[in-house]
Amino acid sequence: MKLYSLGIAALVCALLGPGGQTPSLAQSEDLRRTPVVRAVEQASPAVVNIQASKVYERDVNPFGGFFGGDDFFSPFFKDIFPSQKRQYEAKSLGSGVIIDGKKGLVLTNAHVITGAANIRVRLLDGRRFEAELAGSDPDFDLALLKLDIQEQLPEVSRGHSNDLLIGEPIIAIGNPFGFRHTVTTGVISALDRAVETKSGTYTGFIQTDAAINPGNSGGPLLNIYGHLIGINTAIYAKAQGIGFAIPIDKAERVIQELMDFGRVKPVWLGLTGQDVDQRIARYLGLNDLGGMLIAEIFPGTPADTAGLQQGDVLLSLEGVQIKDKGHYLQLIRNMTRGQRIEAAVWRDSEHRTFAVTPEAFSRERVIDLAQKRWGFTFREGRDFLEVSQVHSGSPADKLGLRRGDRIYQIAGLRMKAEHDFLEAFMRARMLKSVMMYVARGDQGYHVRLRM
């Protein structure tokens, strides 16, 4: 009973001011203005609502109001009536954050503005701006917008994500379902999460339990000081309280490349590999078929400098288990220049780790490797690539490619310019065969280039 009385007394003293006086209104306000409130007040002016609109056309059935709208009759009417099309506008909502108020630069997710014809941004104070795309990279799901401004705008203070603590309180601000500037709070649940999607594998995510919903994408994840530590990106649809954000340190590297080049330059480690089959696993003493056997190390590349060797089995990158060479290529696409990567390998019946720093996969390197591996050169045509030379005895020569053949597609990617070829080779450089669509004269063929 005595302890209980002392507790009540302490609470009364805390609620009363010095000398037992009731706290003033100003003092009450100070108690209510918690670190979370101050962080929100500091960052909110820099958080924006993004509306992206896309215009598309669709055939209109002139008899849609009859026959129950059944499309069964459409083929008959198409022969009688000319095709009619109507334009429709689809709108998507998302969030973003101003990272440079003087230049009017807004950071958001790439999927928020994908395919948009018009992008509009609205600030907390009601001001609206037209935005143009300064750069975007879907492999990192980040985009940089440039606002048409005449004055300085508020900007968020950027923090760091290399010293985050699991359990650390965080704040998310966004526009879920169109409800502008909605604040949710939580903690950091985990770090360095890898998430697999239909588009590929994303690595290094911050996992949080703060409520994140559709429309939060692209909004800021803040620490208790109101500093930007991540960009809210995704939720786990099968559960509640599981959201993911791109760490600001990773985003900073992407931002610089978007500003310099409009996209993130692809990187590589300087090696090739092959899948681990049962025979290889038994020979090397592996218990499963995961990983990638390193088949070749190119001299002077990051893999060579780090000490990786031909015959090593690459088991994981940044803690993400490698399934096969295709999965390895997906992981590399989600990494940047200058990023220190921990690579785990199997060598001489034991696990070893190496620190590797990827370098840019330059145009010259890609062209050189493509000539050696695929065996042809090309020049740009009009919405296609034209074969300019075929090397004797190469895979292209064995396939029967000739000078003047037109290439419209490689590995499922449309070939309109040189950068399309570079992308196709980087994605398919370790495959044993690649599908191509090639035209000669008036005839087009689906062919398989075998290495």
Instruction: Give residue limits of the domains in the chain.
Output: 2-32, 46-147, 159-258, 267-360, 363-450
At residue 286's C-alpha, the angle toward residues 282 and 292, to 5°, is 100
Region for residue 383 given its phi and psi (left: phi exceeds 0; alpha: psi -120 to 50; beta: otherwise)? left
CATH topology agreement for domains 46-147 and 267-360: no
Q: Stretch 364-380: mean pLDDT, rounded?
A: 93
Structure tokens at 9: 């007394």
Q: Stretch 268-289: mean pLDDT, rounded?
A: 91
Q: Stretch 208-228: mean pLDDT, rounded?
A: 91
Phi, then psi, of 257 in degrees rounded to 5? -70, -35
- Give the global pTM: 0.74
Q: Given this model, what pLDDT does residue 394 score?
A: 95
Q: Given this model, what pLDDT does residue 330 score?
A: 86
Q: For the chain, what is the mean pLDDT?
A: 85
Convert the pLDDT of each residue in 437-449 to its tens digit.
999 998 999 999 9
Residue 392 pLDDT grade (very low, low, confident, very high; cuts 50, 70, 90)? very high
Q: Stretch 213-241: mean pLDDT, rounded?
A: 86
The residues that are catalytic are: 111, 141, 217
* Nearest one of 49, 353, 52 to 182, comparing CA atoms: 49
Q: Given this model, what pLDDT does residue 57 score?
A: 58
Give the chain as a 3 state SS string. CHHHHHHHHHHHHHHCCHHHCCCCHHHHHHHHCCHHHHHHHHHHHHEEEEEEEEEEEEECCCCCCCHHHCHHHHHHHHCCCCCCEEEEEEEEEEEEEEEECCCCEEEECHHHHCCCCEEEEECCCCCEEEEEEEEEECCCCEEEEEECCCCCCCCCEECCCCCCCCCCEEEEEECHHHCCCEEEEEEEEEEEEEEEECCEEEEEEEEECCCCCCCCCCCEEECCCCEEEEEEEEECCCCCCCEEEEEHHHHHHHHHHHHHHCCCCCEECCEEEEECCHHHHHHHCCCCCCCEEEEEECCCCHHHHHCCCCCCEEEEECCEECCCHHHHHHHHHCCCCCCCEEEEEEECCEEEEEEECCEECCHHHHHHHHHHHCCEEEEECCCCEEEEEECCCCHHHHHCCCCCCEEEEECCEECCCHHHHHHHHHHHCCCCEEEEEEEECCEEEEEEEEC
Inform me whether the pLDDT recorded for 71 exceeds 60. no
| Residues of the chain above pLDDT 90, percent | 56
Domain spanning 159-258: CATH superfamily? Trypsin-like serine proteases (2.40.10.10)
Residue 17 pLDDT grade (very low, low, confident, very high; cuts 50, 70, 90)? low
Distance set, CA 221 to CA 22, 153, 232, 234, 243 (Å): 37, 20, 6, 12, 11
Residue 161 pLDDT grade (very low, low, confident, very high; cuts 50, 70, 90)? very high
The CATH number of the structural domain formed by 46-147 is 2.40.10.120
Convert the pLDDT of each residue in 394-424 to its tens digit.
999 999 999 999 999 999 889 999 989 998 9
Convert the pLDDT of each residue in 193-202 to its tens digit.
888 777 677 8
| Residues of the chain above pLDDT 70, percent | 83
Q: Which fold has domain 267-360?
A: Pdz3 Domain (2.30.42)
Which of 114-118, 186-190, 203-207, 265-269 has the least mean pLDDT?
114-118
Residue 387 pLDDT grade (very low, low, confident, very high; cuts 50, 70, 90)? very high
At residue 197's C-alpha, the angle toward residues 358 and 281, to 5°, is 65
The CATH number of the structural domain formed by 363-450 is 2.30.42.10
